[in-house]
Each structure stands twice: as structure tokens, then as C-alpha cells.
Amino acid sequence: MITVPEKLKASVAKILEEADITIGGDKPWDVHIKNDRAYLRVLSSGTLGLGESYMAGDWDCDRLDIAVDKIYKAHLETYIKKNPRFIAQVISAKIRNYGTKNQIPEIAAHYDLGNDLYEAMLDKRMAYTCAYWKGAKNLDEAQENKFDLICRKLELKPGMTVLDIGGGWGSFIKYAAEKYGISGVMVSIAKEQVAWAQEACKGLPVECRVQDYRDVTGTFDRVVSIGLFEHIGPKNYKTYMQVVRRCLKEDGLTLLHTISARRTDPTMDPWIHKYVFPNGILSSLKQIAEVAEDYFVVEDMQNIGANYDLTLMAWYENFEKNWKGDLEKKYGGETFYRMWRMYLLTCAGGFRARENELYQLVMSPHGVPGGYIAAR
């Protein structure tokens, strides 16, 4: 049995009280300590220790999403950044090149966990990116809203060719082919995703490939990327822009849909890196603008980040509803359940606190003659 000094417990409790979180309290967002080793793991390893101790059942919280929202709004992350381990993470992040080809198996692993898991959690079209909830009654409608918004921003017309970089389960390219009459190519590095997409897109003028974005050739009327940029890594942003520019016709449009950090930060969350998205790191709007300016005119930018909170909570509700049974047996029971629960709810809290955003940028090679009129 681990013995933790009462003084140390009191100091942790005092920090949490700054965010209106009480250890052992009765509010839904209060924290309940089940094993005192949670204190030591959090203090020694920051968010990695926080996540691992939650997965181990050392502490609990009914509404993790609310707790995280409150933690961010109270700026409690500053305590973590004082930890020497955080300084080491910053140094490592500046040295390493995230998103290289030899990291593809690690990146793809999250998306290849199993289509049954994602079928249970996502909408009917299998969209694993932020939905657009304006006027929507449910997740299915919100995801179709998002796809339609993107199609209108790209000014799609029948007969156009579209390249979808990192297209997941083919949800966007299928929608665009069905509703807007385009033909196109979708590439992803995740084999399970592409297999699902190939089946879903049968009979449509769409090709779904297992391929890295750097290896795509050909030219297209439109290029779209929905949720790939988070995996590219800062040292490869220029390469991404070069690939898009190479593949886009001179009078074309491209749309980048990506999660971004509120501030430029060279680090990634160590728990997310280890258990959810290996080598994933968020850009800031500043970083995107700086690398885009050498290749494109930014015609439009829309921040729909508040919609990701609603999307993540919808995914969480589906996950909870469908967990018991085959999913629980296949994915390893309580540890995986708590990991996935923490992933969805803490991310929802981060978007609610507006620490993370979701940007859609429309860009053109030379500027749209007469100006671009943004769809909303």
C-alpha cells in the first residue's frame, strides 16, 4: 500500500479547488481518489500519469468533460508545465520529425483498430471528423451538413475531379460523388479504412487507395483534406502544401479541415501520443498561415471548433450505448473502456474550453478572379 503524505494531498486538493473541483465532493465533475498512487503518478508524470492512473481505476470522475473544461479555464495546465518532464518533452518535440513515412504503421494503428468499433460510435457515413451542427437534429444530419458545406465551399460541379487526402472510410468522396456528380481519388494509409471505403463506394466513379499523401500524382480540379493535417508534423507542413499545389489545377480550389491548437505549441500530449494518436501534433493557425503563404492565397477561413464538443459527446453517447457485448469482449474490457472514455470526454472538454479549434481554410493558387464568395 502506497502512503502519500497528507501535506501533498492537501496541495493537490488546493490546486483543483481553483477549478471548482473537490476531491471526494458530490458535484458531477468532482474527483474521487480510489488509490493514493494516483497522486504520485500525476505529480511525477503529468498528463501521462493522469491518464494512466485513470485507466488503472485509481481515480474517477462522473463528468470528465466538465472537469477538463474547468481545468483549462482555470489555467491549471501551468502547474504541469513547471514539471521537468515537460521541459524534456519540448526539447524532444523540437528535435524529432513527426509524421515521417517510417511512422505510418504507428499512425495507421488507431484507424485500423477495427471497423466494428467505429461503426458503433460514428454516424451512418463513418465520418471521424468534426460535424457541423447548424440546424441538425442528430449526428447523421450534422455530418452531412459538414460534407455539404465543404462541397459548397469548393464550388463542386458535375464532372469535376477531386482528390481527397486522408479520406478515412470514404465518407466525403462518396457524398460528393453521390450528391455533386464528381469523380475522384481518395487516399489513406489505414488498410481497414480503405477496405471499408472501397466497398461503400462500389458503383461510383471513385478510386480508394492505400497510399501516403506524398506519393499521389496527377492533377485535380479540387483537393480536400479532412482530418489529416494533425498527423503530418510541423517539419512536413511545407511538403504537404507542395503536394497539394502539385496536384491542384491552376484555377482550382483546395480546402483544409484540421484541428488546431489555440496557441503554437511544439509538444504533444504524452498520454494521447502513447495511447490514442501516436505522433499526432496540432498546428496553430499561425503555423498554417506561415507555410501556406508561399503556395496559396487564403480565400476563406471559418472556425467551427465549438461544433467538435457536440460531435465528441455524440460519439461518446454512441460508444457507451454499444460498449456492452461484442465490443467489450473484443477490445479488452475495463482498461480499454476507460482509455476510450477518457479520450472522448477530455477532448470534448478541451474544445468546450476553446483550447483547441477546428479550422476550414479555402485556398487557391493565384486568387479567385473577382474574389471568392464564401459559403456558410
In whole angstroms, what is the distance from residue 282 CA to residue 87 CA? 18
Judge whether 314 lies within some domain.
yes
Return d(Cα 236, Cα 102) in angstroms, integer: 13
Please tell me whether residues 110 and 153 are part of one structural domain. Answer: yes
Does residue 230 lie within any of the structural domains?
yes
Out of 130, 201, 208, 347, pick the active-site residue: 347
- 71 with 13, same domain: the answer is yes
Which pLDDT belongs to residue 104? 76
List the CATH number of the domain containing 196. 3.40.50.150
pTM, to two decimals: 0.93
Specify whether 70 is located in the same domain as 20. Answer: yes
Other residues' Cβ atoms within 10 Å of the Cβ of residue 179: 13
66 and 209 belong to one structural domain: no
Residue 28 lies in a domain: yes
| Residue 347 known to be catalytic | yes
What's the pLDDT at 82? 54
**How confident is the prediction along the chain (376 residues), in pLDDT tens digits per residue?**
567 889 989 999 999 999 999 999 999 999 999 999 999 998 888 899 999 999 999 999 999 999 999 999 999 977 765 555 544 444 444 445 566 776 777 888 899 999 999 999 999 999 999 999 999 999 999 999 999 999 999 999 999 999 999 999 999 999 999 999 999 999 999 999 999 999 999 999 999 999 999 999 999 999 999 999 999 999 999 999 999 999 999 999 999 999 999 999 877 889 999 999 988 889 999 999 999 999 999 999 999 999 999 999 999 999 999 999 999 999 988 999 999 999 999 999 999 999 999 999 999 999 999 999 999 9
Backbone angles phi, psi at 226, to 5 degrees: -120, 95
Quick one: 292 and 339 in the same domain? yes
Query: Does any domain span residue 110?
Result: yes
Query: Among 53, 82, 111, which residue terminates a domain?
Result: 82
Question: Would you say residue 354 lies in a domain?
Answer: yes
Same domain, 277 and 177: yes
Same domain, 20 and 108: no
Separation of alpha carbons 137 and 142, rounded Å: 7
Residues whose CB falls within 8 Å of the CB of residue 93, separated by 6 or more in sequence, listed in order:
266, 267, 268, 281
Q: Which residue has the cell 461544433?
A: 307
Domain-embedded: residue 308:
yes
Around Cβ 192, how many Cβ atoms within 10 Å? Answer: 17
Distance between CA atoms of residues 168 and 191, nearest Å = 10
Number of domains present in the structure of the chain: 2
Same domain, 119 and 46: no
**Rounded (10°) angle between helices 139-153 and 306-323:** 140
Choosing from 82, 111, 140, the residue where a domain stops is 82
- The 3-state secondary structure of the chain reads CCCCCHHHHHHHHHHHHCCCCCECCCCCCCEEECCCHHHHHHHHHHHHHHHHHHHCCCEECCCHHHHHHHHHHCCCHHHHCCCHHHHHHHHHHHHCCCCCHHHHHHHHHHHCCCHHHHHHHCCCCCCCCCCCCCCCCCHHHHHHHHHHHHHHHCCCCCCCEEEEECCCCCHHHHHHHHHHCCEEEEEECCHHHHHHHHHHCCCCCEEEEECCHHHCCCCEEEEEEECCHHHCCHHHHHHHHHHHHHHEEEEEEEEEEEEEECCCCCCCCHHHHHHCCCCCCCEEHHHHHHHHCCCCEEEEEEECCHHHHHHHHHHHHHHHHHHCCHHHHHHCCHHHHHHHHHHHHHHHHHHHCCCEEEEEEEEECCCCCCCCCCCC
Asked whether residue 255 falls in the same domain as residue 221, the answer is: yes
Point out the domain boundary residue: 18, 49, 82.
82
- For 248, the domain range is 102-364
Query: Same domain for 28 and 140?
Result: no
Q: 131 and 215: one domain?
A: yes
Q: Is residue 228 part of a domain?
A: yes
| 229 in any annotated domain | yes
Q: Cβ(206)–Cβ(167) under 8 Å?
A: no
- The predicted structure's pLDDT at residue 332: 84
Same domain? 74 vs 125: no
**Strand 161-165 and strand 183-188: pairing?**
parallel
